[in-house]
Amino acid sequence: MFRFHETRNVSATMPKYQANAVPRAQAAINQLIGVDFPPGPHCVPWYVIISLQKGGTLPFVLGLMWYFDNYSVSACFYAAAHGSYGLIWLLKHCVGADPKCEPR
């Protein structure tokens, strides 16, 4: 018939892992990079910086197209794809702003 191998306790041979050490480290890194950097007073909220960057993509790409006189299909597609994403991002912020992003 079937012979079952002797089972050994695998957890005894493996190093102990603290399940909440990784999330705590990730939260500390997120706090450092996302909130505490750069040091000093925060005069502009992060959502304004992000919205300016995403909303400014279309004018930036159109300016590059004009400067380099490149109106190829790929340049127009790039402007349309990334520019429409930026405009939709701004529309999303205007219609339903994230309450976590509002200044306290």
Residue-wise pLDDT tens digits, 34-81: 778 777 777 888 888 889 999 999 999 999 999 999 999 999 999 999
Question: pTM higher than 0.85, yes or no?
Answer: no
The radius of gyration of the chain from alpha carbons, rounded to an integer in Å, stands at 25
Report pLDDT for 4. Answer: 54
Q: Which domain holds residue 27?
A: 10-101
Report pLDDT for 100. Answer: 75
Cβ–Cβ under 8 Å, residues 62 and 79: yes
**Percentage above 70 pLDDT, the chain:** 79
Residue 18 has pLDDT above 70, yes or no: no
For residue 92, being part of any structural domain is answered with yes
CA gap 56, 50 in Å, rounded: 10
Q: Give helix 57-67 / helix 73-95 axis angle, nearest 10°.
A: 160
Chain center to CA of 27? 15
For residue 1, being part of any structural domain is answered with no
For residue 2, being part of any structural domain is answered with no
Please, which pLDDT band fits residue 85 given cuts at 50, 70 and 90? very high
